[in-house]
Structure 1
Amino acid sequence: MKQKIQSEKLGNEPIPKLLKDLSIPAMIGMFVMALYNVVDTIFISYGVGIEGVAGVTIAFPIMMIMMAVSVAMGIGGASVISRRLGERREQEANHVFGNIISVIIIISLVGMIAAFTILDPMLRLFGATDAIIYHASAYMFPILLGTFFFSYAFATNNIVRSEGNAKFAMMTMIIPAVINIILDPIFIFWLNMGVQGAAIATVISQASVTIVILRYFLTGKSSLQVHVTDLKIKLKIVKEVIAVGLPAFAQQAAGSVMMVAINTMLVKFGGDFHVGVFGIIQRIIMFTVMPMMGVMQGMQPIVGYNYGAKNFARLHETVRLGLKVTVLISFFIFALVMLVPHWLMIIFTSDQVVIEEGAKFLRIMFSAVFLIGVQVIGSGLYQALGKSKQALILSLSRQFVFLIPLVLILPHYFGVYGVVLAFPISDFFAFLLAGALLYRDRETFFGSNNKDGNHPSVSATSNSS
């Protein structure tokens, strides 16, 4: 069966090869996705100006809420599906997938209604000023109308990866990115549509990949098969998916709240100019963190499958290797930003004032980035094993528990630089928390000295909350 070909390699192939095969496509796909966000910002910066970038930055928290729901369903569903596959419960895996599709349809209807009813009030609430609300509204209206395409693409990407098909998951990220990059200059410059042109290009690109993904599932290329009966929502399944995906939702939602807090404090202690500068830096952050996220996403199906199959030795090997790789990546990112921050800013703008201010922001914000690898892996591991409470704690810790309070407090003492100073401080505290949780559950993730890979504490640890 195709299911065995797709998923059994998670329990059989050598871990270094398997992690490479799953992580590199995830890295490439996320890299390209980040690239099209970068290209979006570049075109808007040169075609509209820093005000356009500021408008999109103000609107971004709404997009993050959309992504929060769909990513939560995708990551939660991926964790449940990979464990069902490991336990040889294939039909239940299909039913989980069908329920996820039904929830996505409901979410999409809510997004479309919001576009016609509460868009401008939301943007005002999120910090839009009179100078930039036009750009923010023009960008978000088409995005909300295309909620289904975004939600379906983000959720199913994780589902495809959960069955071990990392290459196709990579293609579902590359296809919309390439289409978006091609369409951006056409809509922004040739058709002179400004930020709304960028949004329309993004919706078309997501609609295109949605068709590709639908064809993948409908033509039997996936190991998952969905029938009409699988679409009937079962609260038990939805609750399980939400419980596992809640940390991912909380992380994205906290990111949205964080963006609102940051934009508000930047406007109060700086101005629209600083919102635009941060909008550029936000794209750089997305671009640099993607490799670590790729490793984490590559690890999750391996960890989830082998945990379900009770193959703990492979789980331990995966965790050790993944943690080493992410730490190395985080140190490389730290060196890059400290050495050449101006080069990173020049990619987006030729305005020397923006470049100088952005370089200062970058060095401060990335001064503790070498600690992020432990946070990323820790949160991803707990998600993969369905340990929702620990994953929720780690997902919320950096942004909601540490970063947002610091963003609201520090500017009163350090002005606009207090906003960016909050980032390395929160990274440090989040690192301590992630390290403490991983140390507490070290036998589950890293194993004991038993050579057979078994340990008596797995069951007790995995049930702890």
Structure 2
Amino acid sequence: MEEKLIMTKREHKLRYAKPWSAIWYFCGPMVLIMVIQGLYNIIDKNMAQNFTSSDIMKRFNIDEHTANNLVNITTGYTMTAFYTLFAFAALFGVGASIVFSMEYGRRNIAQMRRIVGNMVGLQIVLSILVALVLFFLMNEHFGALLVKAQMNGGMSGLAQSRYITLSWEYSRVFIFCAPLLFLSFALPTFLRTEGKVFIVLIMQIISIPINVLFSFIFAKLAHLQMSGVMMGSMMAWIFNIVFSACVIIFSKNSYCKFSWKEMLWSREIIKRSFPIGIGAFFLNFAMAIQVLISTILVVHLPGQDDVLITVNGQKVSATSAGIYICQLVYSTVSPFIVIFTSAGVGLAQGATAICAYAFGAKKYKRIERIIFRVAILELAWFTFVFLLILVFADKMMLIYNFPQELVSHYRWYTVLAFSTYIFASVTYTSMALYSAIGKSTQTLICSMLRSLIVMVPLSFIGYGISLLTSNNIDYFILIGLNDLICAFIIGPMLISTWRKNKTKLIDHPDDFEQQNRNNLQDNVVDKISLESDIK
């Protein structure tokens, strides 16, 4: 007998609440959740400096300033591997959650539970496969190819060996614990999609002191150095998984409960989840590629050999100390950019959950109203962020030991690199819309435009111009045009989509009995398909 879906208060808000009320309820906590997740980068980076610098000074017989720069750049080298891992976590974590939200709108509880079960199985298997590849790319005994690719060939062998060793010690924890990362991302994502956003928010807030406490224990007290910092994150992931599992198991009205048989992979669920999740995958994977390319290029930009920094009261060449000033510009600001972007992503994900539910419920006019308001909020947020960078770029850079005597000049490199950041609002608004209505091709185009299709050519063009002019600031000017160019391409796509569908934008009346009959029929077809897959 098919279980009936009870109309909870959360679902009532998803279906009937006024647009601003729904956005506040679902997007507000989502923004905070994503910002907290973004804070992990800053927290881990700060803890790596504060908890490991004294041990690293003794280990390599170096001064505190050199140790801090060593840690700072090392964490930058590992970001490519981390973003790659996170990208694959988002593939089915996000894709399946949006399909889950659509089925929530159709009130199909049996299918919702199959989706969660499939997602858990997929996350575990996929995480092991990706971790295996990263193990060989990051391991110092196999050449550490991913780290070496980001270094300048002119760097001394001693400096290279230090970076390679510390990068492996830092990254090996999240590589070996990849299933924990995948599940700690996916389970809260489904709880958020189900509407338990405030519970997930509380969980994320608690996870921060857990991360800090165990990082202190493992890195500072146990002297595990870079590995100890990431072990703190590992404990936070375990907490998130246990907390999410308890909510799912003990909550009377959670539709994320699933049985072992529902972990059997369904070809239909994978076919629906993969195209939707591919946009989220490329958005994160492209960040890994972007970090890799940028790190490779910036160390070869002209004019860095002449830069002098103060070490122990003496002026020395920055490159002789293994420091490339343009790379330092990038690595000191990137943690803050992750936070700023996380808020925009959180707003978009909250909107996606509301609109995907509305799409499943055939409330098409509601989608238009939500997206219009979210577009305004995204624009307001990224405008605020640009002004923040304009005013406080130097303060952000100084937090991560950027040379005091150089910050007044190089702060403008940061400002120019994000000069059109306001237009990122167009990309995230479009991704919220196209993901929610299952337009996988458009979602993929929007995510790849900002992260790969436009950004990568701009990086190489900027690099080429910098070499021709012998002026490294030209590189940062060119990459700063990324969001503006993307907006010129995506904007017409959004307008065209609206014009083609504006006559269809109506909210269909609820017919729960017919909807239930349709669900029963669909579930029978899915069951037959699953049985044929097993055979």
| TM-score normalized with structure 1 length | 0.90
Measured in 2, the distance between the counterparts of 1:135 and 1:304 equals 43
Judging changes above 3 Å, is the alpha-carbon distance between structure 1 residues 100 and 416 closer, same or farther for their aligned structure 2 residues? Answer: farther
Judging changes above 3 Å, is the alpha-carbon distance between structure 1 residues 354 and 167 closer, same or farther for their aligned structure 2 residues? Answer: farther
Q: Does 1:30 align with 2:34?
A: yes
Coordinate RMSD, CA, aligned: 2.4
**1:115 deviation in Å?**
6.3
Measured in 2, the distance between the counterparts of 1:333 and 1:192 equals 38
Counterpart pick for 1:84 among 100, 103, 106: 103
Write out per-residue CA displacement over residues 181-234 of structure 1, whole angstroms, 9 at most, x where no aligned residue. 333344444443332221111111111211111222222452222011100011
Judging changes above 3 Å, is the alpha-carbon distance between structure 1 residues 16 and 277 closer, same or farther for their aligned structure 2 residues? Answer: same
SS of aligned partner of 1:192: coil
Counterpart pick for 1:316 among 352, 365, 368: 368
Q: Does 1:127 align with 2:150?
A: yes
Equivalent in the alignment of 1:260: 292
**Mapped contact 1:378–1:438 kept (Cα < 8 A):** yes
Write out per-residue CA displacement over residues 160-199 of structure 1, whole angstroms, 9 at most, x where no aligned residue. 2221221123234333333223333444444433322211
**1:386 deviation in Å?**
1.0
Judging changes above 3 Å, is the alpha-carbon distance between structure 1 residues 382 and 195 closer, same or farther for their aligned structure 2 residues? Answer: same
Q: Does 1:379 align with 2:431?
A: yes
Equivalent in the alignment of 2:514: none
**1:27 deviation in Å?**
1.3
Equivalent in the alignment of 2:266: 234
Judging changes above 3 Å, is the alpha-carbon distance between structure 1 residues 143 and 356 closer, same or farther for their aligned structure 2 residues? Answer: farther
Matches within 5 A, 1:138-217: 138-217=169-248
**1:351 deviation in Å?**
3.8
**1:122 deviation in Å?**
4.0
Segments of 5+ residues of structure 2 without an aligned counterpart are 54-66, 152-159, 305-318, 509-535
- Alignment coverage as a number of residue pairs: 452
User: Which amino acid in the other structure matches residue 145 of structure 1?
Assistant: F
Measured in 2, the distance between the counterparts of 1:31 and 1:308 equals 28
**1:299 deviation in Å?**
0.7
**Mapped contact 2:344–2:378 kept (Cα < 8 A):** yes
**1:408 deviation in Å?**
2.0
Judging changes above 3 Å, is the alpha-carbon distance between structure 1 residues 444 and 216 closer, same or farther for their aligned structure 2 residues? Answer: farther
Measured in 1, the distance between the counterparts of 2:329 and 2:170 equals 18
Equivalent in the alignment of 1:295: 347
Judging changes above 3 Å, is the alpha-carbon distance between structure 1 residues 169 and 405 closer, same or farther for their aligned structure 2 residues? Answer: same
Equivalent in the alignment of 2:17: 13
Q: Does 1:434 align with 2:490?
A: yes
Judging changes above 3 Å, is the alpha-carbon distance between structure 1 residues 393 and 34 closer, same or farther for their aligned structure 2 residues? Answer: same
**1:344 deviation in Å?**
2.2
Equivalent in the alignment of 2:413: 361
Measured in 1, the distance between the counterparts of 2:500 and 2:351 equals 15
**Mapped contact 1:323–1:377 kept (Cα < 8 A):** yes
**Mapped contact 2:214–2:232 kept (Cα < 8 A):** yes
**Mapped contact 1:68–1:253 kept (Cα < 8 A):** yes
Equivalent in the alignment of 1:460: none
Equivalent in the alignment of 2:526: none
Counterpart pick for 1:61 among 64, 80, 83: 80
SS of aligned partner of 1:78: helix
**Mapped contact 2:340–2:385 kept (Cα < 8 A):** yes
**Mapped contact 1:23–1:298 kept (Cα < 8 A):** yes
Measured in 2, the distance between the counterparts of 1:448 and 1:347 equals 53
Measured in 2, the distance between the counterparts of 1:250 and 1:66 equals 12
Matches within 5 A, 1:35-46: 35-46=39-50
**Mapped contact 2:329–2:414 kept (Cα < 8 A):** no
User: Which amino acid in the other structure matches residue 201 of structure 1?
Assistant: G
Judging changes above 3 Å, is the alpha-carbon distance between structure 1 residues 217 and 419 closer, same or farther for their aligned structure 2 residues? Answer: farther
Judging changes above 3 Å, is the alpha-carbon distance between structure 1 residues 365 and 112 closer, same or farther for their aligned structure 2 residues? Answer: closer
Equivalent in the alignment of 2:309: none
**1:126 deviation in Å?**
4.2
Write out per-residue CA displacement over residues 360-397 of structure 1, whole angstroms, 9 at most, x where no aligned residue. 33211121111111111111211111100000000000
**1:36 deviation in Å?**
2.6
User: Which amino acid in the other structure matches residue 59 of structure 1?
Assistant: T
Measured in 2, the distance between the counterparts of 1:386 and 1:394 equals 14
Judging changes above 3 Å, is the alpha-carbon distance between structure 1 residues 377 and 263 closer, same or farther for their aligned structure 2 residues? Answer: same
Equivalent in the alignment of 2:120: 101
Write out per-residue CA displacement over residues 61-83 of structure 1, whole angstroms, 9 at most, x where no aligned residue. 11111111111212111111111
Equivalent in the alignment of 2:7: 4
Write out per-residue CA displacement over residues 403-428 of structure 1, whole angstroms, 9 at most, x where no aligned residue. 11221221222254344333321111
Measured in 2, the distance between the counterparts of 1:53 and 1:110 equals 29
Measured in 2, the distance between the counterparts of 1:41 and 1:9 equals 39
User: Which amino acid in the other structure matches residue 323 of structure 1?
Assistant: A
**1:295 deviation in Å?**
1.4
SS of aligned partner of 1:225: coil
Q: Does 1:345 align with 2:348?
A: no
SS of aligned partner of 1:223: coil
**Mapped contact 2:431–2:447 kept (Cα < 8 A):** yes
Judging changes above 3 Å, is the alpha-carbon distance between structure 1 residues 73 and 423 closer, same or farther for their aligned structure 2 residues? Answer: same
**1:453 deviation in Å?**
5.8
Percent identity over the alignment is 18
SS of aligned partner of 1:352: coil
**1:300 deviation in Å?**
0.9
User: Which amino acid in the other structure matches residue 129 of structure 2?
Assistant: V
Equivalent in the alignment of 1:423: 479
**Mapped contact 1:153–1:172 kept (Cα < 8 A):** no
Equivalent in the alignment of 2:422: 370
Equivalent in the alignment of 1:306: 358
Q: Does 1:279 align with 2:331?
A: yes
User: Which amino acid in the other structure matches residue 240 of structure 1?
Assistant: R
Larger displacement relative to structure 2 (390-399 or 149-158): 149-158
**Mapped contact 1:93–1:224 kept (Cα < 8 A):** yes
Write out per-residue CA displacement over residues 114-153 of structure 1, whole angstroms, 9 at most, x where no aligned residue. 4654433343464254441112111111111110111011
User: Which amino acid in the other structure matches residue 136 of structure 1?
Assistant: S
Measured in 1, the distance between the counterparts of 2:110 and 2:356 equals 18
SS of aligned partner of 2:300: helix
**Mapped contact 2:362–2:507 kept (Cα < 8 A):** no
Measured in 2, the distance between the counterparts of 1:416 and 1:3 equals 61
Q: Does 1:397 align with 2:397?
A: no
Counterpart pick for 1:224 among 256, 260, 266: 256
Larger Cα Rg: Structure 1 or Structure 2? Answer: 2
| TM-score normalized with structure 2 length | 0.79
Judging changes above 3 Å, is the alpha-carbon distance between structure 1 residues 226 and 60 closer, same or farther for their aligned structure 2 residues? Answer: same
User: Which amino acid in the other structure matches residue 279 of structure 1?
Assistant: S
